Amino acid sequence: MQEYLEIGQIVNTNGLKGVVKINPFTDDVTRFEKLKTVYIERGKELKEFEIEEVRYQKKQVLVKFKNIDTIEDAQKYRECYIKINRKDAVKLPEDTYFIADLIGLDVYTIDNELIGKIEDVFSTGSNDVYVVKNNLGRQVLLPAIADVVKEVDLENKKIIVELIEGLL
């Protein structure tokens, strides 16, 4: 499991005083208010920053970090990812998982046939959808609903699904 989890990406600056615009990757954007520090991944470097202020603009989060005080300082971090240490992550409800933990899991049918690996997860509003890629490069979209996803086994890195009519 990854030690650090992505919670957003800096997409732009806001104003002249070092504020950045972040596209959040979390279901609860107010989560940023509860954080004292985050890590910004720039290249291969992960650097810790203290949060001074959090505001909201439409679906984005505006954050002022300590020691980023000019638009020029802030622009250095455009397109960089915001991460937190896993130990600082919120406790998830039962049968809920971090996307980072699902990516790369093998997906099997209830008959133990390998479908492929989870390549991505996206939300449709009503439920998540798992993007599964097979060994031929073909993608299969599986809704993350109880009728389809029967078991998620993070320890053994696999998911068991029951294919309902029309999925393949």
- Domain span including residue 151: 99-161
CATH number of the domain bearing residue 145: 2.30.30.240
What is the pLDDT of the chain when averaged over all its residues?
91
Q: Is the pLDDT of residue 18 over 80?
A: yes
* Most distant pair of Cα atoms in the chain: their distance: 58
The model's pTM? 0.77
Neighbouring-strand partners of residue 65: 51
Confidence of residue 81 (pLDDT cuts 50, 70, 90): very high
Q: What is the pLDDT of residue 167?
A: 61
Mean pLDDT calculated for residue range 107-129: 91
* φ, ψ at 141 (rounded to 5°): -100, 120
Question: Can you say whether the dihedral through the CA atoms of 105, 111, 114, 116 is positive or negative?
Answer: negative
Measure the CA–CA gap between 141 and 133, rounded to whole angstroms.
9
Half-sphere exposure of 56 (CA within 13 A, CB side): 9
CATH number of the domain bearing residue 73: 2.40.30.60
Q: Is the pLDDT of residue 53 over 90?
A: yes
Q: What is the pLDDT of residue 58?
A: 87
Mean pLDDT calculated for residue range 147-160: 94
Q: What is the pLDDT of residue 125?
A: 77
Closest CA to 130 of 155, 108, 111, 156: 108
Confidence of residue 168 (pLDDT cuts 50, 70, 90): low
Q: Where is the domain boundary, 26, 57, 87?
A: 87
Half-sphere exposure of 151 (CA within 13 A, CB side): 12
Q: Where is the domain boundary, 58, 87, 116?
A: 87
The three-point CA angle 141-145-150 to 5° equals 95
- Taking only the tens place, the pLDDT of each residue in 99-108 is 889 999 999 9
Token duo for residue 64:
């002022």
